[in-house]
Amino acid sequence: MKKSRQEKIVEIIKNYDIETQEELAEKLCEGGFVVTQATVSRDIRELGLTKMPISGGKQKYVLLKTADERMGDKYIRVLREGLLSMDMAQNILVVKTVSGMAMAVAAALDAMHMKEIVGTIAGDDTIMMAIRTVDDTIQVMDKIKEMIE
């Protein structure tokens, strides 16, 4: 039961911008899981969820954890050290990095599991990201800027 509930939590936060434990509990209830706030809180802690800023001054839960270790801080550090600039061409986000850092920065961005990102291609110092819409591209840029500030 716990494993399937936690898998559902990961699915929910990947598909929805969940800002509070109450919102998460409601989505779990919709998915057939009856939970208490204490259970949701414990699951959040065990899964290693954290909140990430999103547009409009809000936050959402994200999973910044690999199967073996928590990597969130490392991803943010890679972004801070490697990312030089960003520019958009419609729904394509072009990210310039320090020479040789594009693969690492792309991996860090992919690990953030942003639902707006369709795919990422990295070269030596440039990353091209296909984003769902122009509006989503602006949101992704804002999210990245907030993460590295």
pLDDT digits (tens, 9 = 90+) for 114-130: 899 999 999 999 999 99
How far, in Å, CA of 54 to CA of 51, rounded?
9
Give residue-wise pLDDT tens across range 86-110.
999 999 999 999 999 999 999 999 9
Q: Same domain, yes or no, for 87 and 126?
A: yes
Q: How confident is the model at residue 56 (pLDDT cuts 50, 70, 90)?
A: confident
How far, in Å, CA of 105 to CA of 147, rounded?
13
> DSSP characters for 78-143?
HHHHHEEEEEEETTEEEEEESTT-HHHHHHHHHHT--TTEEEEEE-SSEEEEEES-HHHHHHHHHH
Q: Residue 119's domain is classified under what CATH number?
A: 3.30.1360.40
The model carries a pTM of 0.55
Q: Same domain, yes or no, for 144 and 76?
A: yes
How far, in Å, CA of 119 to CA of 99, rounded?
21
Q: Same domain, yes or no, for 76 and 59?
A: no
Q: Same domain, yes or no, for 93 and 131?
A: yes
pLDDT of residue 64: 66
Q: Same domain, yes or no, for 58 and 79?
A: no
| Count: domains in the chain | 2
84: containing domain = 72-148
Q: Same domain, yes or no, for 45 and 94?
A: no
Q: How confident is the model at residue 68 (pLDDT cuts 50, 70, 90)?
A: very low
Q: Same domain, yes or no, for 87 and 56?
A: no
94 vs 26, 90, 98, 102, CA distance in Å? Answer: 37, 10, 14, 11
Q: Same domain, yes or no, for 78 and 139?
A: yes
Q: Same domain, yes or no, for 94 and 144?
A: yes
How far, in Å, CA of 52 to CA of 73, rounded?
12
Q: Same domain, yes or no, for 34 and 95?
A: no
Among 23, 39, 63, identify where a domain stops. Answer: 63
69-78, 81-90, 134-143: least confident range = 69-78
Q: Same domain, yes or no, for 121 and 96?
A: yes
